[in-house]
Structure 1
Amino acid sequence: MNSLLPNDRKPGVIAALAGGWVGDAASLGLHWLYDSPRILEVGGESPEFLPPDGDYFKGVFGYFAHEGKQVGDVSHYGAATGVITDSLLANEGRLDIRDYQRRFRAYFGPGGQWQGYIDNPTRVTLNNLNTIEQNAIEQALSTTTADLTDQQKRILVQKVLPYSRRLSGKQLADPVRRAIDLTYQETAVQEAGVYIAETIDQHLLPESGANDMQLPAVSKLPPLVACYCGSDDLLKKTEGAVQVTNHNDEAVAWAKCAARLLEGLYQGKPISDALDSATAEAEDPDNLNKARCGDRLDAAAAGDTFGRTCYLHEAMPVIFHILSHANSYTEAIRANIHCGGDSCGRAWIIGPAMASVHGVGTEHGIPLSWLARVTDAATVYRDIESLVYGS
Structure 2
Amino acid sequence: MIDTTLTDRESYVVAALTGGWVADAASLGLHWLYDSQRICEVAGQSPEFLPPKADYFTGGFGYFAHDGKQSGDVSHYGAATGVLTGSLLANEGKLDIRDYQRCFRAFFGPGGDWRGYIDNPTRGTLNNLDTIEQNAIEKAQLTTTAKLTDRQKRVLVQKVLPYTRRLRGDQLADPVRKAISLTYQEPEIQEAGVHLAATIDHHLLPESGADDMQLPAVSKLAPLVACYCGSERLMEVAEAAVRVTNHNDEAVAWARCAARLLDYLFRGEPLSAALDAATREAPDPQHLNNARSGSALDAPGAGDTYGRTCYLHEAMPVIFHILNHAHGFTEAVRANIRCGGDSCGRAWIIGPAMAAIYGVGGERGIPLSWLARVTDAPDILMDIERLVKG
TM-score (norm 1): 0.98
Shift of 1:63: 0.1
For residues 1-391 of structure 1, what are the structure 2 equivalents within 5 Å? 7-390=7-390
Tell me how far apart the structure 1 counterparts of residues 258 and 9 of structure 2 sit (CA, whole Å).
19
SS at 1:247 equivalent: coil
Q: Which amino acid aligns with 1:119?
A: D
Q: Which amino acid aligns with 2:66?
A: H
Shift of 1:10: 1.4
Tell me how far apart the structure 1 counterparts of residues 153 and 83 of structure 2 sit (CA, whole Å).
33
Tell me how far apart the structure 2 counterparts of residues 385 and 115 of structure 1 sit (CA, whole Å).
26
Q: Which amino acid aligns with 2:104?
A: F
Deviations 1:198-241 (A, max 9, x none): 10001000000000000000000000000001101000000000
Count of residue pairs the alignment pairs up: 385
Q: Which amino acid aligns with 1:274?
A: A
Q: Which amino acid aligns with 1:188?
A: E
Shift of 1:9: 1.8
Shift of 1:8: 3.1
Q: Which runs of 5 or more residues in structure 1 are unaligned?
A: 1-5
Q: Which amino acid aligns with 1:172?
A: L
SS at 1:272 equivalent: helix
Deviations 1:303-342 (A, max 9, x none): 0000000000000000000000000000000000000000
SS at 1:74 equivalent: coil
Shift of 1:37: 0.4
Tell me how far apart the structure 2 counterparts of residues 10 and 267 of structure 1 sit (CA, whole Å).
10
Q: Which residue of 2 aligns with 1:3?
A: none
Aligned CA-pair RMSD: 0.7
Shift of 1:59: 2.1
Shift of 1:362: 1.9
SS at 2:94 equivalent: coil
Q: Is residue 329–residue 354 contact of structure 2 (8 Å, CA) maintained in 1? A: yes
Deviations 1:102-147 (A, max 9, x none): 0000000000000000000000000000000000000000111111
- What is the percentage of aligned positions where both structures have the same residue? 76
Q: Which amino acid aligns with 1:69?
A: K
Deviations 1:12-70 (A, max 9, x none): 11001000000000000000000000001101111000000000001211000000000
Dislocated runs of 4+, deviation >2 Å:
none
Shift of 1:7: 4.2
Tell me how far apart the structure 2 counterparts of residues 206 and 7 of structure 1 sit (CA, whole Å).
35
Q: Which amino acid aligns with 1:61?
A: F
Tell me how far apart the structure 2 counterparts of residues 107 and 69 of structure 1 sit (CA, whole Å).
17
Tell me how far apart the structure 2 counterparts of residues 193 and 230 of structure 1 sit (CA, whole Å).
44
Tell me how far apart the structure 1 counterparts of residues 292 and 272 of structure 2 sit (CA, whole Å).
9
Q: Is residue 26–residue 50 contact of structure 2 (8 Å, CA) maintained in 1? A: yes
Tell me how far apart the structure 2 counterparts of residues 151 and 212 of structure 1 sit (CA, whole Å).
39
Tell me how far apart the structure 2 counterparts of residues 7 and 194 of structure 1 sit (CA, whole Å).
47
SS at 2:218 equivalent: helix
Tell me how far apart the structure 2 counterparts of residues 278 and 109 of structure 1 sit (CA, whole Å).
34
Q: Which amino acid aligns with 2:282?
A: A
Q: Which amino acid aligns with 1:50?
A: L
Q: Which amino acid aligns with 2:340?
A: G
Tell me how far apart the structure 1 counterparts of residues 347 and 121 of structure 2 sit (CA, whole Å).
18
Tell me how far apart the structure 2 counterparts of residues 282 and 57 of structure 1 sit (CA, whole Å).
34
Q: Which amino acid aligns with 2:300?
A: A
SS at 2:241 equivalent: helix
Tell me how far apart the structure 1 counterparts of residues 278 and 12 of structure 2 sit (CA, whole Å).
19
Q: Which amino acid aligns with 1:353?
A: A
Tell me how far apart the structure 2 counterparts of residues 91 and 362 of structure 1 sit (CA, whole Å).
35
Q: Which amino acid aligns with 1:244?
A: V
Q: Which residue of 1 aligns with 2:3?
A: none
SS at 1:277 equivalent: helix
